[in-house]
Amino acid sequence: MNAAEILSALALPPQALVDRRVPKKMLTEQGDFTAADKRRLLDGIEELTWVAALKPSNIGVPAFRDETCEYLEIAVLTATLRPAARAARFPVRVLELIHRAIPYPVLLIAEQAGAVHLSVAHKRWSQGEGGKVVVDSMRGVELSGGSPDSGSPPAEEAAFLASLSISRLPTAHLYALYDGWLEGFIALEAARIVGSFKPPVTSEESATLRQGLEEHSRIARQLVALRAQARKEKQLNRRVEINLSVQRLEAELAAEIATLSAAMKA
């Protein structure tokens, strides 16, 4: 999977297209960045393109304003990141800086060394600096692309890709539309655990998925640590105690997966 396939799935209306390259120097001047963060942007980005600007005038979805934020338009950007020293995780810091540099909510499609990553970040007014916009929360997913044999993405990624289309997102206002993408990211995370993809429809479903994913992640981290501890333990009695704790956590993890599965089928 690549950026072109994701852009195709978005089904962006022609009147919203911008297709303009964003100079990296301009990006570093937009945010209140440290010298180190400016260097991360300059060294980490090969190319940044402003693909589209989604506005009420070109997609027919009203703007959104309340006491905490204002969504007048949504920017769709693609970024090609330099492949040097790719870590185990996608270079999240560079993605965070891109989101921080742009005052509008952004759907960012980033590619690096054959991997593709989507991210969104809700924004709000700064409480300390009047008129300044800050990132409130960021969420992203990395897509695996097709298998060597089939060339097609896993079923849950194919369903996720279909859910990205503008025509399938909430249309009450731009905040709701943008949040529809974020909810899809959450659903994909859950689908990779339970095997089926279904975006949450209500705030209650979303809260259940979020809480379930947090619990799943917490238990999984504890299991990794305990299993490593068991492998190193020399005393038999202590190893038995650790293994009992592992079994208890495995049961908790299975219960959490069952909860997530039920939430995805509701």
Query: pLDDT tens across 205-222, in order?
Result: 888 888 999 999 999 999
Whole-number Cα distances in Å, 173 to 120, 176, 177, 229: 17, 5, 6, 50
Q: Do 147 and 175 share a domain, yes or no?
A: yes
pTM for the full predicted model = 0.87
Q: Do 66 and 117 share a domain, yes or no?
A: yes
- pLDDT attached to residue 148: 47
In the sheet with 115-125, reading across from the earlier edge strand, the strands are 17-21, 45-54, 74-81, 106-112, 115-125, 133-143
- pLDDT attached to residue 86: 53
Half-sphere exposure of 206 (CA within 13 A, CB side): 10
Q: Do 131 and 248 share a domain, yes or no?
A: no
119-128, 145-154, 209-218, 219-228: least confident range: 145-154
- pLDDT attached to residue 147: 46
Rounded to whole angstroms, the Cα distance separating 112 from 20 reads 20
Q: Is the pLDDT of residue 193 over 60?
A: yes
Rounded to whole angstroms, the Cα distance separating 73 from 82 reads 29
Query: 138 has which bridge partners?
Result: 121
Q: What share of the chain is helix, strand, coil (3-state, %, to 5)?
A: 50, 20, 30
The answer to the question of residue 192 being in a domain is yes
Mean pLDDT of the chain: 89
Confidence of residue 107 (pLDDT cuts 50, 70, 90): very high
- pLDDT attached to residue 130: 66
Query: Which of 37, 116, 127 lies closest to 81, judged by CA?
Result: 116
Domain finish residue from 169, 199, 229: 199
Query: Which of 182, 184, 253, 246 lies closest to 215, judged by CA?
Result: 253
The answer to the question of residue 204 being in a domain is no
Whole-number Cα distances in Å, 130 to 68, 97, 98, 126: 12, 21, 21, 6
Query: Which of 109, 119, 158 lies closest to 141, judged by CA?
Result: 119
- pLDDT attached to residue 33: 87
Q: Which residue has the higher pLDDT, 88 or 171?
A: 171
- pLDDT attached to residue 29: 84
pLDDT tens, 55-94?
999 999 999 999 999 999 999 999 999 886 455 456 888 9
Residue 84 is given by DSSP the state T
Q: Provide the domain limits for residue 26.
A: 3-199
How many domains in the chain?
2
The answer to the question of residue 244 being in a domain is yes
Q: Is the pLDDT of residue 261 over 90?
A: no
Domain finish residue from 156, 177, 199: 199
Q: Do 162 and 244 share a domain, yes or no?
A: no
Rounded to whole angstroms, the Cα distance separating 113 from 125 reads 35
Q: Do 168 and 248 share a domain, yes or no?
A: no
35-44, 138-147, 151-160, 256-265: least confident range: 138-147
Q: Do 44 and 101 share a domain, yes or no?
A: yes
The answer to the question of residue 255 being in a domain is yes
